[in-house]
Every structure is written in structure tokens, then in C-alpha cells.
């Protein structure tokens, strides 16, 4: 456990150093260049691209979370149960159309830049969050919900004070999956002029510079692993607080 944590801390430190002082690693990346090609991406700041990439992913994931959790809450209430098939169809839209197709459809309406990428990531991130929220809200311990009703809680009070806190670890698992998917998928946003780490990969492909491709891929990969692990740890903390960790282990 401690060894794994130390490895993750080390990976984070190396990533930060690389983003702030990429020239420090020039000797390593020169191994992947040829004919005097630059070893470090030189068409923009790697730190700026990484922060912009993360901002796009965070914005899209936040929007997807608000909509998906809201839909799941509505369809798990008595008045909204009949809308479950429609809500599930809406959440499936992003998985039905590949992100590239969404970008192609969005560009004529929204123009080039960040907006089409946000739409593609938002649609692609809906399903995992919606399904996990639905699972979390429909698989609550009956004894707990019955006790909440027994003490006279209203439906709104049960939702806020009992149902959502108990379902939060499962919801967070959906957000974790959606975030990791979006981190990788956001790279294609550079094909429509969004400022993401896809710029580095595309520049490497166009110039046949493996070092650039490797840099873009490594940054995205390390970010995905670190964010996945951080959200997993948060999920375990929430499960422990609600007493679900022991039941899961059993």
C-alpha cells in the first residue's frame, strides 16, 4: 500500500517537473528523434496545454454529472418513473455516436475551438454517471430507507440526507469512469482547434517525430492513472464513512 502510494507521488512529481521544465528530459526524448528533430515539443507550452486539457475535461464532466445525476433522481421518484426509458435513451446518445462524429456535427453549428469538444465529451460522459447513479439510488439498504420513513422524513429529506450520501460512492465510481474516458477522448479535440494535449500528438504524427507523440501520450496516460487512483481513494473513504466498505469486503 505504502509502496504504491510512493510510486504515485513520484510519478506526480516527475510529471510536474516535466511540465514546468521539460528541457530537463531532453536527453531521454532525443532517443526517439531523428535527423535533428527537436526532442521537446516546441509549438506551445506543455503546462498550458495540460491545464487547458484538464479544464475542458473538468467542465464537460461537471456538466455531465449535473445532468446525469438530475435525470437519475427524477426517474427514481414515483412521478418520474415513466421517464426512465427516455432518460436512458438520452444518456446513451453519447455512446451511440463516436466522439469524432459528434465533433463533425457540432463544428458547423458551434465553429472550431473548444465548444464542439465540450459537447462531445459531455455526451460521451453521460451514460456511466447516469447508470451508476441509478444503481446507487435503487439499491439502497431497505432497512435504512424504512427507518428514514419511520422517523417522518419527507421525500426531499430522504433524498438529501439518506439516499444521495449512501449512493455517493457508486455515483463517484461513474464520475471516475467518465473522467478517465474524457481525458483520453479530449485529445481528438485538437482536430477541431481545441487546445488540448492532442496538439502534441498530432504535431508528432505530422512531423514523424516519435518524441512528440510519446510526450503527449505519456502526459495523458499519467494524468489518467493519477486521477483514477485519487477518485478511487476518495470512493473508499466515502464507503468507509457510510459503512459500505466492510460489507463490500465481506
pLDDT value at 167 more than 60: yes
Tell me the C-alpha distance between 138 and 175, whole Å. 18
- pLDDT tens column, 154-166: 888 889 988 999 9
- Cβ distance 11 to 226 under 8 Å? yes
Is residue 36 assigned to a domain?
Answer: no
Overall number of domains in the chain: 1
- Cβ distance 89 to 80 under 8 Å? no
pLDDT value at 131 more than 60: yes
- pLDDT tens column, 196-246: 999 999 999 999 999 999 999 999 999 999 999 999 988 888 888 766 654
Is residue 28 assigned to a domain?
Answer: no
Q: Which domain holds residue 72?
A: 47-189
Using CA atoms of 214, 52, 13, 40 in order, give the dihedral in degrees to the nearest 10: 40
- The closest of 47, 35, 50, 46 to 210, measured between CA atoms, is 35
Is residue 113 assigned to a domain?
Answer: yes
The predicted model scores a pTM of 0.91
Rounded to the nearest angstrom, the gap between the alpha carbon of residue 43 and the centroid of all alpha carbons in its chain is: 26
Q: Which residue has the cell 456535427?
A: 105
Tell me the C-alpha distance between 164 and 139, whole Å. 12
CATH number at residue 94: 1.10.3720.10
Is residue 99 assigned to a domain?
Answer: yes
Is residue 14 assigned to a domain?
Answer: no
Is residue 91 assigned to a domain?
Answer: yes
Is residue 114 assigned to a domain?
Answer: yes
Is residue 13 assigned to a domain?
Answer: no
- pLDDT tens column, 25-39: 999 999 999 988 999
φ and ψ at 21, to 5 degrees?
-130, 70
Burial (Cβ within 10 Å: 0-12, 13-18, ≥19) of residue 210: middle
Amino acid at each position: 500500500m505504502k509502496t504504491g502510494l510512493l510510486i504515485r507521488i513520484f510519478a506526480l512529481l516527475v510529471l510536474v517537473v516535466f511540465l514546468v521544465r521539460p528541457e530537463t528530459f531532453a536527453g531521454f526524448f532525443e532517443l526517439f528523434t531523428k535527423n535533428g528533430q527537436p526532442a521537446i515539443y516546441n509549438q506551445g507550452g506543455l503546462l498550458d496545454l495540460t491545464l487547458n486539457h484538464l479544464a475542458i475535461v473538468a467542465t464537460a464532466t461537471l456538466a455531465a454529472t449535473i445532468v446525469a445525476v438530475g435525470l437519475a433522481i427524477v426517474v427514481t421518484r414515483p412521478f418520474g418513473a415513466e421517464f426512465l426509458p427516455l432518460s436512458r435513451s438520452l444518456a446513451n446518445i453519447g455512446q451511440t455516436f463516436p466522439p469524432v462524429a459528434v465533433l463533425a456535427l457540432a463544428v458547423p453549428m458551434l465553429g472550431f475551438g473548444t465548444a464542439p469538444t465540450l459537447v462531445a465529451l459531455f455526451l460521451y460522459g453521460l451514460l456511466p454517471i447516469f447508470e451508476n447513479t441509478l444503481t446507487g439510488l435503487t439499491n439502497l439498504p431497505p432497512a435504512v430507507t424504512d427507518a428514514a420513513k419511520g422517523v417522518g422524513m419527507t421525500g426531499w429529506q430522504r433524498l438529501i440526507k439518506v439516499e444521495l450520501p449512501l449512493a455517493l460512492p457508486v455515483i463517484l465510481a461513474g464520475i471516475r469512469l467518465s473522467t478517465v474516458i474524457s481525458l483520453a477522448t479530449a485529445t481528438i479535440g485538437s482536430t477541431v482547434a481545441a487546445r488540448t494535449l492532442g496538439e502534441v500528438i498530432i504535431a508528432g504524427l505530422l512531423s514523424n517525430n516519435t518524441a512528440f507523440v510519446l510526450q503527449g501520450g505519456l502526459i495523458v496516460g499519467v494524468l489518467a492513472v493519477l486521477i483514477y487512483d485519487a477518485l478511487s481513494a476518495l470512493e473508499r473513504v466515502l464507503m468507509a464513512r457510510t459503512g459500505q466498505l466492510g460489507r463490500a469486503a465481506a
